[in-house]
Amino acid sequence: MDMSRRHGPLMHLQLGEVPTMVVSSAEAAALVMKTNDLSFAGRPRTVTTDIFGCAGKDIGFAPYGDHWRQMRKVCIVELLSSKQVKRMEGIRAEEVGNLMRSIAAAASTGATINLSQKVAALSNDVVTRAVFGGKFAQQGEYLRELGEAFRLMSGFCPVDLFPSSRLVRWLSNGERDAKRSHGRIERIIIDVMEGRKAERAASVGTDGEDLLDVLLRLQQQDSLEFPLTTDIIGAVLFVSIPLLVSTSATENTATVLAWAMWELVRSPETMAKAQQEVRDVLVEDLAVFTDRDLTKLQYMQMIINETFRLHPPAALVPRMCREDCTIMGYDIPKGTNVFINVFAIAQDPACWDNPGEFKPDRFENNVNYNGTYFEFIPFGAGRRQCPGIQFSSSLMEMALTNFLYHFNWKLPDGASLTSFDMSEKFGLAISRKYDQKLRATPHACFKAMSSK
């Protein structure tokens, strides 16, 4: 962020053989993702994303073109539509209910709760059920390989900086590690797909389709311009869907949830105001409050917006220049990798008063993250905006609302805010280096939970 303030809204970097531009102001971001969106609709290609994304045949990392348009349409219309998100409400509610019971059990013994682990498990379980319909034999291996894939894709690989160098390619382990991991992924996907095809052959109907069922149905119908091969389905299931709905199963939603709870614990007045709204508006003592209930909570949405501002799911949004272009008087050559510095823009004093403070009330003016306010673009904007906003935000809002309704939260005995190590670790999302641990005290009656 200091570099962005020192060098201005556009900063050119020569990273090895690759020209790179960092965009660090709302005005410049609007020029890239709105005014010249088509020119910057490409995605940077890396060795690892090519391997895991089936050479650009997935959704998230595909180059702009007819195939990407088809896959995005499949994603929006079939996989992540509002209808699908609503249909999955039962999955989210059930998993959030399981989490509430787990926290209640720990709270009854006075145990400290590792909130980081619990929200990561929640996100994992929801994504797994959404994609595969439930637990399956290879689930543990699937989640391990998913974590490894995203670790490799978010890590540094020298080949990406010197793509023409045979020596660098030979010396680098990143490509070899990615190929080994992808081989294990292919085996899991083939096993799961073959098992599901056998199940589908023995039954009729598409009620309650999970995302794997949807893709297999589209493959069987064979009505798309670009057929859905097994490799492409694997890339969508293993990379695109977890990335789009959760930026990886253990990051995005889980990370932002943990940050939201930490900011609330640090700000008792904000916590009290949020809990008062939740408990005043949601008068029924339900085991789990669902999407229907959450539409009434205005301050809760402000808290989520402010958390996304301070802790965006991805600090840098990647684009690639597809044709020579001029931005703010600077010539940007074709092939330049472009990174929109979402974090720096959200911390810009020109856009936000006291940007380092957690102040949910700043969102009373209805600013949202749908890509029209370039001061606040945690999910990007334009053609390449993340299509998974609804899925991720719905899960986060449901979990946070139930956290605040059913429990009062505080630091573990003997702990203070100054004693916590707030070091961050970087990946596809910026998360805390060390797990967040809190104490929970039940507030509402848990009869509805214990009876299930």
Q: Are 51 and 58 in contact (CB under 8 A)?
A: no
Phi, psi of 299 (to 5 degrees): -70, -35
Instruction: Annotate 100-150 with DSSP letters as a single string.
Output: HHHHHHHHHTT--EEHHHHHHHHHHHHHHHHHHSS--TTHHHHHHHHHHHH
Q: Are 390 and 85 in contact (CB under 8 A)?
A: yes
Q: 10 Å Cβ neighbour count for 71? A: 23
Nearest residue to 50 (alpha-carbon basis) of 230, 175, 172, 155: 175
Separation CA 353–CA 371 (nearest Å): 21
Nearest residue to 142 (alpha-carbon basis) of 249, 281, 251: 249
Nearest residue to 77 (alpha-carbon basis) of 217, 232, 285: 217
Separation CA 85–CA 276 (nearest Å): 28
Separation CA 319–CA 340 (nearest Å): 8
Separation CA 449–CA 131 (nearest Å): 26
| Token pair belonging to 17 | 């053989």
- What letter does residue 73 receive in the DSSP assignment? H
Which residues lie closer than 8 Å to 422 by C-beta, 6 or more apart?
Answer: 432
75 is in an annotated binding site: no
Place of tokens 């070091």: 423
Q: Are 26 and 375 in contact (CB under 8 A)?
A: yes
Q: How far is CA 193 from the centre of its chain?
A: 25
Sheet with 437-442: strands ordered across: 113-114, 437-442, 407-410
Separation CA 282–CA 443 (nearest Å): 14
Sheet with 18-23: strands ordered across: 10-15, 18-23, 337-341, 316-320
Annotated binding residues = 386
Q: List residues forming the annotated binding site for heme.
A: 386
